Amino acid sequence: MNSMVDALIVVVLLLNFFLLGTSRLRAVINASAAQGVLLGILMFFMHVDFGIKAVLIIAATIILKGVFIPSMLVRAMRDAAIRREIEPIIGFLPSLLLGALGTGASLLFAKTLPLAPQHEGSLLVPASLATVFTGFIILTTRRKAISQTVGYLVLENGIFIMGLTLILAMPFMIEMGVLLDLFVCIFIMGIIINHINREFSSLDTARLSTLKE
């Protein structure tokens, strides 16, 4: 089972690099959706006591992260009639290099942490740190609000992976609370995207600096 978990984690890390290296917004949204579905599948392999609660959490994770939120972002992209992230603050190749450095540093740093015996040698913790770092890069170096929303989503995915290491101790309500927080944040970001597009006919957040009191 651990080998399957590690294989899924490797795919999550590869998606991180894809997210950093592509300018096409639809591809970025699809990659984040695929990452959300993978997290749901990861929960399937992580839950030892597989009951109705686990099924509900897995279903909610896949539907929310893999279907509902991406569909909201695709709709916002169509409404704004934009297809690509143009002229990010940091280019796509430097972003990839930063992501590679962050992933390497995460692997080294995770070895220094006092982990539970069942997580020693696992890729869960380094993948969590690397995914949080990837989300932070996307969130802070992209100009389009949709890209920044995906960055937040990826950052939260990293936190979610870290939460999987505590899955035996994490109560059901806390897991659902995390998903609810994510839904509320993405919903608010959707409203902000709509207002930015309506005011500026663009989703470039750099234009917010032109606002005056």
Integer-rounded Cα Rg, in Å, for the chain is 17
Residue 175, pLDDT score: 61
Q: Using CA atoms, how far apart are residues 21 and 28, in angstroms rounded to an integer?
A: 9
CB 166 within 8 A of CB 190: no
Residue 133, pLDDT score: 94
Distance of CA 32 to the CA centre of its chain: 6
Residue 27, pLDDT score: 92
Residue 160, pLDDT score: 84
Residue 200, pLDDT score: 63
Q: Using CA atoms, how far apart are residues 204 and 34, in angstroms rounded to an integer?
A: 25
Residue 120, pLDDT score: 76
- Token match 């959300």: residue? 36
Global pTM reads: 0.82
Residue 130, pLDDT score: 95
Provide the residue-wise pLDDT of the chain in tens; the chain has 213 residues: 577 888 999 999 999 999 999 889 899 999 999 998 998 888 888 766 667 777 887 888 888 888 888 888 888 788 777 778 777 888 899 999 999 999 999 999 988 888 777 777 788 889 999 999 999 999 889 888 788 888 888 988 888 888 877 766 665 555 666 666 666 666 666 666 666 666 666 666 666 666 555
CB 106 within 8 A of CB 122: no
Q: Using CA atoms, how far apart are residues 181 and 171, in angstroms rounded to an integer?
A: 16
Residue 208, pLDDT score: 61
Residue 105, pLDDT score: 94
H/E element, 67: none
Burial class (CB in 10 A: 0-12, 13-18, 19+), 28: buried
Burial class (CB in 10 A: 0-12, 13-18, 19+), 160: buried
